[in-house]
Structure 1
Amino acid sequence: MTIVPLYAAPQYAEQVTDWIWQAFGEGLPREFFHSIIEHSQTPGALPLTFIAIEDEQLLGTVGLWRCDLITRQDLFPWLAALYVDDAARGKGLAGQLQQHVMTCAGQAGYEELYLWSACRDFYERYGWQYIGDALEYPNKTVHLYRYSLCASAGDATE
C-alpha cells in the first residue's frame, strides 16, 4: 500500500470526489466537492489531497486543507475529508493516512493541525486533543481537535 498525492494519480479524482460527497455532502451538490478536489492538486500548495492505493485499487483519501470549518478560519491547517473504503476498514489505514498528513504538515513547517468531527472517541486514540465544540454551517455542532506536531507534544503544559 502506498500513499501519494492525488496529483500523482489524477485518474482517481472522480472516485475521491464521489467518496467525500457521499460521506460528507449532506445537502450539498457533488459539484461543490468536485471543485474542492480539482483545486487540491497543486504540488507544494494547500489544499492537498492524498490517496492510499494498493494494486491500483483506491483504498482511502485524506486532505491537508487551509480551512475546513468556516466558523473557525482562525485555525489552520486542517486534516480534512478522511475516508477509508468499507473494504479497507479495520486495518489501520485511517491512522496511516493521518500520519501521512501529519508528516507532510510538519515538513511544511506547521506546528499544529486541526480537524472537526461529528463523532467523539475516534480521533483521541490517535493522539488528537479535543479542544471544544464549534458550529458547522448552518447549525450543526461539531467537535474540534488539535494535534501538536512539535517534538514536545507529549510534555505537560501549564
Structure 2
Amino acid sequence: MTTMESKATIGSPVSIGYLADYPHFEAQVADWLWQAFGDGVNRAFFASVVHHSMDKQALPLTFVALAGDQLVGTVGLWRCDLISRQDLTPWLAALYVDERYRDRGLGADLQRFVIEFSRERGFDSLYLYASFSGYYERHGWRYIGDAPEYPDKQVRLYHRSLG
C-alpha cells in the first residue's frame, strides 16, 4: 500500500501517500512538526528530519494526508523516535493533523495507514510515545510503561502488535 483513501469526514476526499511524491509540502511539514513538537529544538532539526525521510525505499518515511491539493495532516514511520529506547523499532512518529481538520477521524486514518504499510513490509510491531494518555489507547495501542525523553521528562511508551 502506497496510498490510501481516508474515511475522515472533512468535507472532501482525503488521500494519504508519500511526502516524497509531494515535495512542495516539505517546508510546511517541517514547520508543523517544529511548532507542534519543537519545545526548545530549532526548526533546522525538524527540516533535516523531514528532508531525510524522502527516500521511499528506506526508513525514515514521512506520509501526508491531502484533501485535494491541500495538506491536512502528516505522520512518520521512523527507525527510532525516542533516544532512550533505540532498542525498539520501528516507530509511528510525528502524527500531526491541521487544527482545522481535527476531531474528524483523520488522526485515526493516518495511524491505520502506517500500521497497514508496516504490516505489508513485514514488521511485527510498532512503537510510539506520547506525553498524554487516552488517545492512543482508544486506537488499539497498548501502554507498556514510561521512558525518559531527553533531557529530563518522562513520556508514555506504547506498543502495537501487527501480527
Read off the aligned partner of 1:10 and give its amino acid letter: P
TM-score normalised by structure 1 residue count: 0.94
Read off the aligned partner of 2:23 and give its amino acid letter: P
Counterpart for residue 147 of structure 2:
134
- Cα separation, 1, equivalents of 2:75 and 2:56: 15
Indicate the structure whose relative CO is greater, using CA pairs within 8 Å and at least 6 residues apart: 2
Give, in angstroms, the shift of residue 2 of structure 1.
Answer: 0.3
- Name stretches of at least 5 consecutive residues in structure 1 with no aligned partner: 151-158
- Cα separation, 1, equivalents of 2:152 and 2:103: 32
- Cα separation, 2, equivalents of 1:3 and 1:15: 16
Read off the aligned partner of 2:70 and give its amino acid letter: Q
1:1-158 equivalences in 2 (<5 Å):
1-150=14-163
Counterpart for residue 156 of structure 1:
none
- Cα separation, 2, equivalents of 1:128 and 1:11: 32
TM-score normalised by structure 2 residue count: 0.91
- Cα separation, 1, equivalents of 2:128 and 2:32: 18
Give, in angstroms, the shift of residue 121 of structure 1.
Answer: 0.5
- Cα separation, 1, equivalents of 2:82 and 2:38: 14
- Name stretches of at least 5 consecutive residues in structure 2 with no aligned partner: 1-13
Of all paired residues, the percent bearing the same amino acid is 54
**Alignment root-mean-square deviation, CA:** 0.5
Read off the aligned partner of 1:85 and give its amino acid letter: D
